[in-house]
Structure 1
Amino acid sequence: MKNNRVITALVIIAVVIGVFLILGPFYIVSEGEQAVLIRFGQIVQVERDAGLKLKTPVIDNVHRFPKKIMSWDGEPQRIPTSENQFIWVDTTARWRIEDPERFYERITTIPAAFGRLDDVIDSAVRAVIAENSIAEAVRSSNRINEQDAEELIGADATQIEGDIEEDSFRELLDMIAFDVQHDRINKGRRQLSQEMLDNSRDDVADFGIELIDVVIRQIRYSDDLTEAVFNRMISEREQIAEAYRSYGDGRREELLGQLERERETILSTAEAQAQEIRAIADGEAARIYNQAYGQDQGFFELWRSLESYRRTMPNMNKILSTDMDYFRYLYNPEG
């Protein structure tokens, strides 16, 4: 009888334990997770460490949240700057659940958290962009105003410098160094991102969220502003191209002048040499003629008269008289 009661008690205990185990008194918190234990709508425990945990079956509910850093990607917004020029701003952020108890109380779910982040960060981005100029949003430094001409013409400078002399290259750089001054910035893009973070951080902290950073991922000009920016870029490149053309025209005239001077020098030298050679040749010819004609004076006079006839008579249109000494060899057999 006693043994039966013991067996019955053991069976009852086993059944109770089995039911208890079936109802699930244990739960697991994985690495990278944190959990909030809810009993009758109240938070009774927060688990931050991974491992096997115990709860009250049926009564307690477990809500798990990631501990890892998560990313938030906002939708691009068309926002006016302080000059009332519209730009498209695309931002991203990193965040994590710092206080799971407050997170559950204020938001409860991850999708709801993304919705709250949309509201808070988008509002901060719009406010910061609207308070600053477009230059502050798109640039992080004033280095563009400190560029010299060699940086402005870019990679072409290396090729040009190898083709021309150093003095000429510096002359070209001086021509290209036109005065293009961009608006100076006081904050810059990084500082604006920090302001967006500062403006958002306190608001999301009330939700148990730690906002790690807010980054302007991309800024794109609106269609009406894009054309103006492109026109400015085209104008700058056209000024550089005009400097190239002016330099090329100057170099062409310089080289043509140098070529003409060299041509004149060569021709002058050649003419002087030719005159000298002709003088020597004429002297030698006169000597030879004198020597040859001196042997027979009559033959010399005949030859000279015949040469004269050959040159002059084809051009004579009218002869009034041949009774002159000039024609003596034509009409006088004896000359």
Structure 2
Amino acid sequence: MMRVQYLIPAGVIALGVVLSSFYTVDEREKALVLQFGEVRKVVMEPGLGMKIPMIQQVVKYDGRILSLTTQPLEVTPLDDRRLVVDAFARWRIADLVKFREAVGSGGEMTAKNRLDGILNNAIREVMGGVPSTAVLSDDRTALMNQIRDQAKREAASLGVDVIDVRLTRTDLPEQNLAATYARMRAERQREAADERARGGEAAQRVRAAADRAVIELTSEARKQAEIVRGQADAESNAVYANAYEQDPAFFAFTKALQFYADSLKASTTSLVTRPDSLYFDYDTFVESLGENPAAK
């Protein structure tokens, strides 16, 4: 009976020792087998493995691509115009042994802190060598590639591979935004004033050209009118002369009637003449008209 009481605990202990000899690594992980702090085995493939219980331990690390977002960082480009920059990086553990030696038991958290410092230094160094216009432009691919390459070289000592670096924000500091907006507004207002001045000048030129064209057209029209009027008068005189030549007496008669009609219009208020005036002597008046009918 006493032997059974000792066998049961011993069996439980033995079972625990056997179970602790096995470990699993899933497809998202990589692992190191350590013995008294020294690396004995690197496990890169998922599956079931064995270790020496109580002597060896398994440390697992994330085998996927990890992300790191930096805190807002002020940088000073070549033109001494301060900018606030945010960035994020994609990285992964490339060398487990070197990673363990670099970060110790701190794991991914310690690696992120050290990688954050590496990224900040790379951002400051790269952006400090270019003007702010290059940083604020739409195409910053070359700058991001330079930051990535420099961070990759420095992070290699951690056993880390920096895959990509992207700039998420590049803005002016808050205290500079108001002054910058005011300057931009003044520049736009100046440009608008220049455009209005150029537009007014162009409008004045158009109005002057239109006025000149009106004067030229009016003068030409008056010239043509005078020519037409002169031609009409010449034709009228020719008609009068032709009529006179055909029947001088009848022509004189019609001219006399026209004269009387014009002199006796309703607008005529009074007529002052002598009793012996030609106006009352029709025959003599007609004869006087017949002397030069074209002039009458």
- Which TM-score band (shorter chain)? 0.5 to 0.7
Matched with 1:193 is: 144
Report the residue type matching 2:147 in the other structure. M
Do the aligned residues in 1 keep the contact of 2:99 with 2:159 (CA within 8 Å)? yes
Do the aligned residues in 2 keep the contact of 1:81 with 1:133 (CA within 8 Å)? yes
1:162-311 equivalences under 5 Å are 189-222=140-173, 223=177, 224-229=179-184, 231-232=186-187, 250=205, 261=216, 265=220, 268-269=223-224, 272-284=227-239, 287-288=242-243, 294-295=249-250, 304=259, 307=262
SS of the aligned residue for 1:295 comes to helix
Structure 1 residue 135 displacement after superposition: 2.6
Matched with 2:98 is: 102
Do the aligned residues in 2 keep the contact of 1:68 with 1:96 (CA within 8 Å)? yes
Structure 1 residue 52 displacement after superposition: 1.9
Unaligned runs of 5+ in 1: 1-10, 142-188
Mapped pair 1:90 → 2:86: yes
Matched with 1:128 is: 126
Matched with 1:29 is: 25
- Alignment equivalent of 1:56, drawn from 39, 52, 55: 52
Report the residue type matching 1:295 in the other structure. F
Q: Structure 1 residues 73 and 312, CA, compared in 2 at 3 Å: closer, same or farther?
A: closer
SS of the aligned residue for 1:125 comes to helix
Compare 107-116 and 277-286 and name the one that shifted more.
277-286
Output one character per residue of 1:65-113: Cα deviation in whole Å (capped at 9) or x when no partner.
2233323222232323333222222222222111112222322322222
The structure 1 segments of at least 4 consecutive aligned residues displaced by more than 4 Å after TM superposition are: 11-17, 229-271, 285-293, 296-303, 305-316, 322-325
Report the residue type matching 2:107 in the other structure. T
- Distance in 2 between residues matched to 1:296 and 1:252, nearest whole Å: 55
- Distance in 1 between residues matched to 2:185 and 2:251, nearest whole Å: 96
Do the aligned residues in 2 keep the contact of 1:36 with 1:45 (CA within 8 Å)? yes
Structure 1 residue 241 displacement after superposition: 6.9
SS of the aligned residue for 1:31 comes to coil
Structure 1 residue 214 displacement after superposition: 2.9
Q: Structure 1 residues 15 and 134, CA, compared in 2 at 3 Å: closer, same or farther?
A: closer
Mapped pair 1:39 → 2:43: no
Output one character per residue of 1:187-215: Cα deviation in whole Å (capped at 9) or x when no partner.
xx444434433443343222211223433
- Distance in 2 between residues matched to 1:66 and 1:303, nearest whole Å: 123
Unaligned runs of 5+ in 2: 1-7, 286-296
SS of the aligned residue for 1:121 comes to helix
Report the residue type matching 2:16 in the other structure. V
Do the aligned residues in 1 keep the contact of 2:243 with 2:251 (CA within 8 Å)? no
Do the aligned residues in 2 keep the contact of 1:293 with 1:300 (CA within 8 Å)? no
- Distance in 2 between residues matched to 1:195 and 1:302, nearest whole Å: 111
- Distance in 2 between residues matched to 1:241 and 1:298, nearest whole Å: 72
Do the aligned residues in 1 keep the contact of 2:73 with 2:84 (CA within 8 Å)? yes
Report the residue type matching 2:120 in the other structure. D
SS of the aligned residue for 1:206 comes to helix
Output one character per residue of 1:134-178: Cα deviation in whole Å (capped at 9) or x when no partner.
13323488xxxxxxxxxxxxxxxxxxxxxxxxxxxxxxxxxxxxx
Do the aligned residues in 2 keep the contact of 1:81 with 1:129 (CA within 8 Å)? yes
Structure 1 residue 47 displacement after superposition: 0.8
Report the residue type matching 1:102 in the other structure. K
Output one character per residue of 1:47-72: Cα deviation in whole Å (capped at 9) or x when no partner.
11222222233443322222333232
Q: Structure 1 residues 287 and 197, CA, compared in 2 at 3 Å: closer, same or farther?
A: same
Instruction: Determine what percentage of the aligned residue pairs are the same residue.
Output: 21
Q: Structure 1 residues 258 and 91, CA, compared in 2 at 3 Å: closer, same or farther?
A: farther
Output one character per residue of 1:222-251: Cα deviation in whole Å (capped at 9) or x when no partner.
413344355556656766676666566656
Matched with 1:169 is: none
TM-score by length of 1: 0.61
Do the aligned residues in 1 keep the contact of 2:67 with 2:90 (CA within 8 Å)? yes
- Alignment equivalent of 1:69, drawn from 55, 65, 73: 65
- Distance in 2 between residues matched to 1:76 and 1:282, nearest whole Å: 101
Q: Structure 1 residues 241 and 17, CA, compared in 2 at 3 Å: closer, same or farther?
A: farther
Aligned length: 272
Structure 1 residue 329 displacement after superposition: 3.8
SS of the aligned residue for 1:49 comes to coil
Q: Structure 1 residues 205 and 229, CA, compared in 2 at 3 Å: closer, same or farther?
A: farther
Structure 1 residue 122 displacement after superposition: 1.3
Compare 83-92 and 304-313 and name the one that shifted more.
304-313
